[in-house]
C-alpha cells in the first residue's frame, strides 16, 4: 500500500515537474509583470500625491507674491509653476490668479498671456471656460473685437453658455451691431435663472437697446 502511494506521489511530482518545465517561465514572467504593474501603480500614485502637494505649496507662494507689487516676480513664479506643475489644476488656478493681479495693476499683456495659457493648455473645462470669458473681456476693453469673438467660439462648459452669450452681446454692442447684440442678450436672458441678479443686468442691457426682456422669454 505504501509503495502504491509512493508511486502515485512520484507520478504527481513528475507531472508537476513536467508542467513547470513547460510553463514555469511563462508563469514567472506573468507574476513579474503583475507585481511590476502593481509596484508601478503604487509609485505613480505616490508621485501624483507628491506632485499635488508641491504644486499646492507653490500656489500658496504665488498667492503671497500676488499680494505684493512686483509683476516681474509674479511672472517668474508663474513661469516656474507652469514648467514644474503645468499639468495640475493648481497651475490653472494660479494662472487665473496671476491674470487678475496683473490686470488690476495694468499689466495687460501678462494678464492676457496667463489667460491664453489656460485657454489653450488647461485640462479642466471649467477653468478653460473662465479663462476664455475673462480673456474676451480684456480684448473687448482693447477694442480687439474680432479676436474677442474668436476666443468665445471655442467649446465652453455648458454652464457658461449664458455668460458667453452676454459677453458676445457686449462685443456686438461695442461694435454698434444692435441686432446681433439683442439676439445674444436675449439668449443670455432666457438661459439665466429667473431670480438671478445677473439676469436683471442683462435686462438693463436689452432695455438700453430698445428691446423688452419679455420678448426674450418667449
Q: What is the pLDDT of residues 81-99, one digit of tens each?
A: 889 988 888 899 999 999 9
134's CB contacts (< 8 A; 6+ apart) are: 96, 99, 115
- Per-residue pLDDT, 206: 92
Work out how many domains the chain is built from and give that number. 2
For residues 170 and 130, membership in a common domain is answered with no
Q: Are 216 and 189 in contact (CB under 8 A)?
A: yes
Tell me if 197 is assigned to some domain.
Answer: yes
Between the alpha carbon of residue 164 and those of residues 28, 50, 60, 123, 130, the distances in Å are 58, 37, 30, 19, 10
For residues 206 and 162, membership in a common domain is answered with yes
Range of the domain at 125: 71-144
- Per-residue pLDDT, 4: 52
Question: Which stretches of the chain drop beneath a pLDDT of 70?
Answer: 1-51, 214-218
- Per-residue pLDDT, 157: 84
For residues 210 and 170, membership in a common domain is answered with yes
105's CB contacts (< 8 A; 6+ apart) are: 69, 71
Q: How many Cβ atoms are within 10 Å of 160's Cβ, its own excluded?
A: 18
Tell me if 19 is assigned to some domain.
Answer: no
The DSSP code for 195 is: T
Tell which of 118, 144, 170 closes a domain.
144
For residues 133 and 89, membership in a common domain is answered with yes
- Per-residue pLDDT, 129: 93
Q: Are 147 and 169 in contact (CB under 8 A)?
A: no
Tell which of 144, 178, 204 closes a domain.
144
Residue 50 CA neighbour count, 13 Å, CB half: 7
- Provide the H-helix boundaries in 86-177: 89-104, 108-121, 125-141, 145-152, 161-174
Q: Are 203 and 189 in contact (CB under 8 A)?
A: yes
Task: Report pLDDT digits (tens) over 198-212.
Answer: 899 999 999 988 887
pTM for this model (two decimals):
0.73
Amino acid at each position: 500500500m505504501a509503495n502504491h502511494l509512493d508511486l502515485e506521489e512520484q507520478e504527481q511530482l513528475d507531472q508537476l515537474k513536467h508542467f513547470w518545465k513547460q510553463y514555469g517561465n511563462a508563469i514567472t514572467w506573468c507574476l513579474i509583470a503583475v507585481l511590476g504593474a502593481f509596484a508601478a501603480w503604487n509609485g505613480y500614485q505616490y508621485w501624483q500625491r507628491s506632485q499635488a502637494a508641491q504644486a499646492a505649496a507653490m500656489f500658496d507662494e504665488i498667492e503671497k507674491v500676488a499680494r505684493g507689487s512686483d509683476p516681474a516676480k509674479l511672472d517668474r513664479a508663474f513661469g516656474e509653476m507652469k514648467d514644474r506643475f503645468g499639468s495640475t489644476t493648481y497651475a490653472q488656478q494660479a494662472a487665473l490668479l496671476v491674470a487678475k493681479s496683473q490686470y488690476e495693476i495694468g499689466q495687460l499683456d501678462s494678464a492676457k498671456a496667463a489667460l491664453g495659457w489656460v485657454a489653450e493648455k488647461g485640462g479642466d473645462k471649467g477653468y478653460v471656460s473662465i479663462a476664455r470669458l475673462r480673456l474676451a473681456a480684456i480684448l473687448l476693453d482693447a477694442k480687439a473685437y474680432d479676436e474677442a469673438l474668436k476666443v468665445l467660439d471655442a467649446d465652453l462648459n455648458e454652464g457658461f453658455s449664458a455668460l458667453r452669450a452676454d459677453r458676445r452681446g457686449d462685443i456686438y454692442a461695442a461694435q454698434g451691431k444692435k441686432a446681433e447684440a439683442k439676439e445674444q442678450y436675449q439668449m443670455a436672458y432666457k438661459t439665466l435663472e429667473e431670480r438671478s441678479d445677473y439676469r436683471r443686468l442683462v435686462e438693463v442691457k436689452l432695455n438700453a437697446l430698445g428691446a423688452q426682456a419679455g420678448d426674450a422669454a418667449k
